[in-house]
Amino acid sequence: MFEQMMLSAWSAGLRDKLSLPLRVELWDGRQIEFSPDPRVTIRVPDRSALRYLRSPSLYNLGRAYVEGAIDIKGRAADIINVGNTLAASLDKGRSRLGELLRRAAPHTRQTDAEAIRYHYDVSNDFYAAWLDPGMVYSCAYFENGSEDLATAQQKKIDHILRKIDLRPGQLLLDIGCGWGALVLRAAQAFGARCIGVTLSENQAGLARERVERAGLQGQVEIRLQDYRDVDGEYDRITSVGMFEHVGVQQLPGYFSRLNGLLAPGGVAMNHGITTTNVDNGATPYGGGEFIDQYVFPHGELAHLSTVVRAMQEGGLEVRDVENLRRHYARTCALWTDNVENNAEHIRTLTDEKHFRIWHLYLAGCAYAFAHGRISLYQIVCGKADGSVEQLPWSRRYMYPT
């Protein structure tokens, strides 16, 4: 009786505040509907799972779904919308303790390598099932807004290589090279010599195969290597979707390392996700906690102002900044569609837990980018003590005529 009263009070309270396209199915067959057209169904298999609904942060709901404590049916975009609405309705503020604990975690070569392997070594086939054919796992560039994913990813790579003014014969270092799409394009279309580094064994193995298939062994080298262990001098440096793993406190050292590797007159670009919280805080309602535990261990997002300051502290001068938040919202939405449209096949490539993690994560990112909780910036930079003659007069060189 007490439990039924609690449920009635909980559902009545939500109905008074919200209109949700949600149905809750209980273990005894009862159903609670919050609209005449529910697009999301939460199945509660036993009484113990009710606690996730009574405290529906994004972390609690996401953890319950991933661990199988509850089941959720519906399109991912609808699930994320419902989850955010529930979390916001009972928000008790951001957990500063959780953020402090994440920042206190050490970023050693070993911990960073373990985090990278956890995220990227699910399997190459898993990623190939929902990425574009080039297997580019970073924000695409929709120049006109109508491009398909493969075209937008190709345009993103070309956009980056033009921004750094890559020229034939130059030596390019790509930090966090993924499955090699950028270095392959830089060698084939721009005539550059390239070194790509990654901490993922799966990525390195496939990237080397792709280099061999393209006949580019003389131009492209793929290394399983930490960026802190790279030496030499490079005309151009790119870092795409990697610096989120570095750690906020380590950013000045990271950019100092890039500065040390950059040749005089060289150009570097950092392409990465940032928080829109000026205090470098996590996304609200427990979304950051969920990602830290299940998706990107030790990952940290910095605010743009922190990134620019860290670049300057590392001896780099910011030359150009572009916001691609809208582009990443669309990229993540297309990835989510690919996961859902190929769900049956993808479930054969990984376990149910990993499928659920990525199902929520990609849709959650699409929502976060679309609603301004996180952003994506491409920042072009060079050595801060370089001659003014090295600076272009305009941005025209970045765009094809």
List the catalytic residues: 365
For the chain, report the end-to-end CA distance as a whole number of angstroms: 73
Runs of H (alpha helix) within 269-394: 287-294, 304-313, 325-341, 343-346, 352-370
Q: How far apart are CA 311 and CA 319, in angstroms?
A: 11
The answer to whether 194 and 172 have CB atoms below 8 angstroms apart is yes
Look at strands 71-73 and 40-43 and give their pairing. antiparallel
Q: How far apart are CA 277 and CA 300, in angstroms?
A: 12
Here the tokens at position 18 are: 């919200």
Query: What is the phi/psi pair of residue 152, to 5°?
Result: -65, -35
Distances from the Cα of 221 to the Cαs of 121, 200, 261, in angstroms?
20, 15, 17
Q: How far apart are CA 95 and CA 67, in angstroms?
A: 22
Residue-level length of the chain: 401
251 closest CA partner among 232, 270, 268, 266: 270
262 closest CA partner among 238, 236, 242: 236
Enumerate residues 6+ apart whose C-beta is below 8 A from 359.
76, 336, 339, 340, 343
DSSP class of residue 303? Answer: B
The answer to whether 260 and 229 have CB atoms below 8 angstroms apart is no
Q: How far apart are CA 367 and CA 84, in angstroms?
A: 9
